[in-house]
Amino acid sequence: MRRDGGVIRHPSPNFGPRRHARPPSLVVLHYTEMRSARAALDRLCAPDAEVSAHYLVGRDGTIWQLVDEDRRAWHAGAGQWRSCDDVNSASIGIELDNDGQSPFSAPLMAALEPLLAGILNRWCIEPGGVIAHSDMAPTRKSDPGPRFDWRRLAQSGLSVWPDHSGDSAHPLAESLDRIGYPPGTEPVRLAAFRLRFRPGATGPECATDRALADALARNCLAFEK
């Protein structure tokens, strides 16, 4: 292990080349759902686990880099975002040390923000390219979950958040398509959208869902890679 500018290098063997020499245009955020950062680090570096990420951010703010950014880490699995169905080749994966139930710690969030800012700057990734694992794999994933503070990232220009007023005439399905959610049943896609932008909301789609999704779709139109 070696420390580079506050980031601990801890190489994982679980990576490969980016297919089609594709540079990253997405950042996918995950939670580890494990008891500790050390347990997550061991798993992400175990050859038989066949899983990894580019970075792991601990609850205490420690950052480990497991895979070089220009390589393909194995973090996203099956899923899709916009027209991309090989998200591993198009993304940088960040695992966050969180059990999936608790609030994300202040040191973790404070470490994540400059890490994200550097990644977006190095690869010219728009804020709309920072997505949840649950966004691109809504039928099987829920991370980083309802406790993650997406609004905070958006306020720092590191993600997106919808601003809206009034109703929208656009159908929800059309807006979700434009945002990038993969094809599927509307209840599943609505649940993924709410998990990130309206945590705790339940029931059938409503005017608030349509207005938020339309506003977000319009804000994200510049992000087309």
CB 106 within 8 A of CB 167: no
CA 99 to chain centre: 16
Rounded distance, CA 210 to CA 207, Å? 5
Cis peptide before 144 (omega within 30 of 0): yes
Q: For 37-78, what is each residue's pLDDT tens digit?
A: 999 999 999 999 999 999 999 999 999 999 999 999 999 999
End-to-end CA distance of the chain: 35
pLDDT-derived band of residue 224, with 50, 70 and 90 as boundaries?
very low
Q: How far apart are the C-alpha atoms of 154 and 161, rounded to whole Å? A: 6
Note the pLDDT of residue 4: 64
Element (H, E) at 16: strand 15-17
Mean pLDDT of 68-94: 96
Architecture of domain 2-155 in this structure: 3-Layer(aba) Sandwich (3.40)
Report field, pTM of the whole predicted structure over 0.85:
yes
Q: Which residues are catalytic?
A: 95
Provide mean pLDDT across the span 74-99.
96
Q: Where are the CATH 3.40.80.10 domain residues in the chain?
A: 2-155
